[in-house]
Structure 1
């Protein structure tokens, strides 16, 4: 908190009035089995119903119902493809933790406790009886951390347990739990012309609609922290934009920093003595006949560089210099 006070005193005054278990991972109970502190799931759903938010309530609800109906079927197909005991995301997560656990060393100290270390600076205590680790990752997310997995391998080697690391994962991440959550289906319904008429005697009129001035806003408002991440040197960065060069039509740079040639071909052609060839400009818009190394041109085609008169020379009758 002292570091927060040094950075921003207003933020410190605001945070000290909120219980730490609501915003600090060090005080999370682990009941939710996640360490996420963002509302990404809400933002994801909000982005999917953008098109249905500006319509009347019945149409909006129908839009959401149809989206959820297709979403449930999509997840059920993913469940049918899965072959591991855990969900696909949890399987990838545990695989990364296993790879990290190969670099750790576990030592038994009695009473079901192990000391797991990578070097003298990184050292943690794993309690297999309580299923906890001093890094608190196992308690927060319900998946054994790399230190716990290293301990499990040590116990398996000594034949103290017969469970693999996947068996210690909380039931929240099991494929069977995911399958039970999506065991239902949202039934399709008929169109409005086949709906039963309501027996309510009151006729509900549509609300008064006022079209505001200007273009309607569809994108969500970015928070102050998101804007700060995009600002570098008092200017918005292009970190989330793909820049296309107007010269070579390639992605990743602009025309100012382009080191290639303009799209459409080379800007000049070599001519052997005694032969003739059609010399085209960069864009391929015009051409001139070249014979014996001399170009009979009255004007320089747009896009060529004249070595004698500079750029865009309209009067040069050169000997192949342009």
Structure 2
């Protein structure tokens, strides 16, 4: 799964295997690399984000050795919490994980180090990228969790029990319709204009930047004052000391204030991924409709059998297994405390309430 310029889920590839392990992950990444080559893509330094599954790591090292690796901070936090369960560690960890500047990141690690040098050493030894300030500006994506991938897994919950062919067909038809809807939406976006997601971010940043003081410098440089803090901004190089502009590809609130001071349009300073032109190119190709399975052509190829299923002990689970550090899934909006409709008291019912029908 990936993300397009409008922050929508974009399905790149999917496969059915018997079990998640090094061999099956290597099979998946190898075919993914072949698919890229068939479409004329020679890029090798992709950015992958996942949990710390050993199968994924070993397969990526073999098939995409130049790829940049990000770790899902939610998984890293779960492991971190087991070693340092105090609440203060948790707040500092997430401040460090979401820090878009070296200054904030180092400040949070310094506070953690005052309480436990071992905790800082643990975080510094993480081989993958996990703090936003480490991300490549060319990627223009600040996601540091794999939560968006779980949306695809939630979709699959209703389809997992189907036969393989029906399962693959349901996935294809779902994304065929989704891609067609997004292609129609992309046609409404101006080529040099922002996508709806980027436009929403710009409007929010502009609303926050109106009260900031700006001091103009030379060569496209500005000094933006947010309270007692000063943020140097260079609109020519597309940089801000807070780091948010570089990581997201969308001008931050300090950059928006500087660009307005220079009497220019914000859309001229968006990353190319966040524009309507790139959004349209994403959905230039589409999934083609297919006839009924009975009308499919026959080929002189060996019959493809389903993968050998390796079942574990016990009944197979359909829900995601959550670690102790994960928030519980909400089953609904109903309150856990039931209020009796007659006396309006919590926890009462018609039998226990003195003013209920039974008491009468």
Give TM class, smaller chain: 0.5 to 0.7
Q: Does 1:132 align with 2:219?
A: no
**Within 2, Cα distance between the matches of 1:311 and 1:195?**
66
Q: What is the aligned residue count?
A: 249
CA displacement at 1:152 relative to structure 2: 1.4
Aligned to 1:67: 174
Structure 1 residues 304 and 98, CA gap change in structure 2 (3 angstroms): closer
**Within 1, Cα distance between the matches of 2:308 and 2:224?**
67
Residue of structure 2 aligned with 1:256, choices 329, 342, 346: 346
Residue of structure 2 aligned with 1:103, choices 211, 223, 226: 211
Between 1:205-214 and 1:107-116, the stretch displaced more is 205-214
> What pairs with 1:195-274 in structure 2 (closer than 5 Å)?
195-200=296-301, 216-227=316-327, 241-243=333-335, 245=338, 247-248=340-341, 256=346
Aligned to 1:179: 280
> What pairs with 1:26-41 in structure 2 (closer than 5 Å)?
26-41=133-148
**Within 1, Cα distance between the matches of 2:266 and 2:335?**
45
**Within 1, Cα distance between the matches of 2:308 and 2:261?**
70
For residues 258-280 of structure 1, give each alpha carbon's deviation from its aligned partner in whole angstroms, at most 9, with x where no partner exists.
8xxx9xxxxxxxxxxxxxxxxxx
Aligned to 1:23: 130
Counterpart of 2:278 in 1: which secondary structure? helix
**Within 2, Cα distance between the matches of 1:209 and 1:110?**
65
Aligned to 1:166: 267
Structure 1 residues 111 and 193, CA gap change in structure 2 (3 angstroms): closer
Richer in helix (by share): 2
**Within 2, Cα distance between the matches of 1:175 and 1:220?**
35
Aligned to 2:31: none
TM (norm. structure 1) is: 0.64
Counterpart of 1:143 in 2: which secondary structure? coil
Structure 1 residues 164 and 209, CA gap change in structure 2 (3 angstroms): closer
Between 1:44-53 and 1:10-19, the stretch displaced more is 10-19
Higher alpha-carbon Rg: 1
CA RMSD in angstroms, aligned pairs only: 3.7
For residues 109-161 of structure 1, give each alpha carbon's deviation from its aligned partner in whole angstroms, at most 9, with x where no partner exists.
33432111132x222111223221100111111111111111112112xxxxx
Structure 1 residues 4 and 198, CA gap change in structure 2 (3 angstroms): farther
For residues 19-63 of structure 1, give each alpha carbon's deviation from its aligned partner in whole angstroms, at most 9, with x where no partner exists.
47x112222221210221011221112222223334343332222
Conservation of the 8 A alpha-carbon contact between 2:340 and 2:347: no
Aligned to 1:118: 226
Structure 1: runs of 5+ lacking an equivalent: 157-162, 231-236, 263-281, 283-301, 314-321
Aligned to 1:52: 159
**Within 2, Cα distance between the matches of 1:153 and 1:211?**
60
TM (norm. structure 2) is: 0.58
Conservation of the 8 A alpha-carbon contact between 1:25 and 1:35: yes
Higher relative contact order (CA 8 A, sep 6+): 2
CA displacement at 1:219 relative to structure 2: 1.0
**Within 2, Cα distance between the matches of 1:82 and 1:19?**
40
